[in-house]
Amino acid sequence: MAMVMRVKSGGVHGGRADSLIRLWPKPAVCRRFGTGIHRRKDSDLMQDSRTITRKSASNLALAFVLLPKAKRDGMSALYAFCREVDDVADEESVPVAKRREQLAGWRADIRRACTAEPPQFPVNRELQPFIQQHRLPFDLFDELLKGVEMDLDIKRYANYEELEKYCYRVASVVGLLSIEIFGYRDPACREYAIHLGKALQLTNILRDVRSDAERGRIYLPLSELERFQVSPEEILRFEYSERFHALAESVAQRARHFYQQARVTLPGVDRRSMVAAELMGSVYWKLLRKLERQQFDVFGPKPTRLNKGQKILLILRTSLRVASGALTPNYGTP
């Protein structure tokens, strides 16, 4: 279910990785374990990553529109990596042992990319120049993969401590990698990325309660279910109640806390370079407010989304605020 970004997609997979990541049709050009993958024309350098990003239609990919081309290409390559590993974990037609083996292959290959060895997978070859340019550390990719691997084994989280570890791995880590591509001057930007990633992922989790339940997954902490007297079986049966409303509102309050923390920790000197992240914050904040107006009735057949007009308005508003030097984000208000 991962990024935002988890990139959860659909409106940054979960499981989960927009994550700033769900299953979208895999472009035929993207072959994880194919042969003949080393011969590519320079004009095709970003072919796989751009195709994956374009086809995903996720909110995370949407934010790239505000970036200059070089940074947009870097984020497309990073996003494509997140999508690929997330899709491996979510492909439930493949046995868990096989998926674990495939993720181990991705870990070994991204390690090669980070150590200046030639990667085998097309997406990692496209990502490698940006890894080198921005000094993206293997430790963060490893942590992201650990988060993705959690979806192979864990279908319940006992408490917020366990859930936030997951959110950090599949969303905040994507943010920490992203800000290196964006460029920043104040180290406090790293705290900003961590807070915003958790806010986005908790919003994803609230939106996707039903689709996760269809997979037998419940990300809402069991301690909160017990507190509000909501049984796991009710969620798996898509049963909405006032008790569930109270439970979801509690989780939303925690998400608001992280939006507010992101709002106050983003250094003013880095606000312009974080324009894409700020757009993500605005989009997901708007989504959270929409869920609130629906009283968190998330058990319908279609997940809550923003329409195209709402997204365009947020793009324009965010770009204007940054261009005018506005110092307050367009999210996280009381």
Give the separation between CA 36 and CA 70, rounded to whole angstroms.
27
Q: What is the pLDDT of residue 305?
A: 84
Phi, psi of 36 (to 5 degrees): 65, 30
CATH domain 58-323 topology: Farnesyl Diphosphate Synthase (1.10.600)
The structural domains of the chain, with segments of one domain joined by +, span 58-323
Q: What is the pLDDT of residue 225?
A: 98
Q: What is the pLDDT of residue 333?
A: 83
Q: What are the structure tokens assigned to 328, written together? A: 């307050």
Give the separation between CA 132 and CA 177, rounded to whole angstroms.
12
**Cβ atoms < 10 Å from Cβ of 316:** 10
Q: What is the pLDDT of residue 122?
A: 92
- What tens-digit pLDDT sequence spans the chain (334 residues)? 554 444 444 433 444 434 333 322 233 223 333 323 333 443 455 666 666 555 554 555 666 778 888 998 999 899 999 999 999 999 999 999 999 999 999 999 999 999 999 999 999 999 999 999 999 999 999 999 999 999 999 999 999 999 999 999 999 999 999 999 999 999 999 999 999 999 999 999 999 999 999 999 999 999 999 999 999 999 999 999 999 999 999 999 999 999 999 999 999 999 889 999 998 999 999 999 999 999 999 999 888 888 878 877 887 787 777 677 766 777 888 7
Question: CB of 235 within 8 A of CB of 213?
Answer: yes
The DSSP line for 166-195 is HHIIIIIHHHHHHHHHH--S-TTHHHHHHH
Give the separation between CA 308 and CA 101, rounded to whole angstroms.
39
Which H, E and C letters describe 189-240, residue by residue?
HHHHHHHHHHHHHHHHHHHCHHHHHHCCCECCCHHHHHHCCCCHHHHHCCCC
Give the separation between CA 8 and CA 89, rounded to whole angstroms.
12
This prediction's pTM = 0.84
Q: What is the pLDDT of residue 48?
A: 67
